[in-house]
Amino acid sequence: MNEALSLGVQLQGMTHLPLQSRIADVLREAILCGDLRPGQVLTEVGLSQQLQVSRAPVREAFRSLSKEGLLESVPYKGTRVRPLTRTDIDETYSLRGQLEAFAVTRIVARTKAVDFAPLETICRTMQDLAAVGDVAGLNREDERFHKTIIELADHALLMSVWTTLALRVRQIMALRNRQNQNPMEVALNHPPIVAALKAKDLNGTLSYLERHVASAADLSLDLVAEEMAGTT
């Protein structure tokens, strides 16, 4: 497992939580940022040796992440990162599109002034990160951009639903951004969304979002096809 050193360093840097929670947090982050890829097999023995911990907290971490839908048990093989299917991506992105469309509709309809400065700051940061090839940082800001749109809608139930969907969205987003050979293209997809929102151009905003989400889904579907071909 090439990520062993990185995982071990992250684990050592977390001391305020029970060991099993720390292991789960480190593995979750590795899955969501794409370091641990869909279908990758993990073993209690291997991880416990690499992280220099006993098998019991690793086993408990596996159980927690399985409940979250990030890991799954495979007979005779052990535990693996849950593979992404075309259905997973289609359902995730179709729901994501509906949630963001609802959010921007509420934002445009608001009579009170909306502070778009956080979105503009994220856009600039994304371009800076893309310029230096920091894909991990770009992923984090990409996630923060879309979460901020949901927050600006000022709708508690919408935020709750988005939070439930966010783990899968982030995982797919990270894999998609790694697949994209031009990080700046990802960064530059976002400023037009903000500009349309500021202009209260609902149709324009929805159009930019729809194209953005569709392109991400297409890239991710290509990735799934490659992953499936590599495992058959």
Residues 14, 22 contacting (CB under 8 angstroms): yes
- Count other Cβ atoms within 10 Å, centred on residue 8: 16
Residues 6+ apart with CB under 8 A from 115: none
How high is the pLDDT of residue 186?
A: 87
The domain spans of the chain are: 4-81, 86-231
How high is the pLDDT of residue 231?
A: 47
Residues 6+ apart with CB under 8 A from 164: none
Q: What kind of fold does domain 4-81 have according to CATH?
A: Arc Repressor Mutant, subunit A (1.10.10)
Model-level pTM? 0.78
- Residue type present at position 11: L
How high is the pLDDT of residue 108?
A: 96
Q: What is the pLDDT along the chain (232 residues), one digit of tens a residue?
A: 445 445 654 555 555 678 999 999 999 988 988 888 888 999 999 899 888 899 999 999 999 999 988 999 988 888 999 988 888 888 888 899 999 999 999 999 998 999 999 999 999 999 999 999 998 899 889 999 999 999 999 999 999 999 989 888 888 887 777 777 788 988 999 999 999 999 999 999 999 998 887 766 665 556 555 554 544 4
- Under CATH, to which class is 86-231 assigned? mainly alpha
How high is the pLDDT of residue 1?
A: 43
> Reading across the β-sheet that carries 71-74, which strands appear in turn?
41-42, 78-81, 71-74
How high is the pLDDT of residue 213?
A: 78
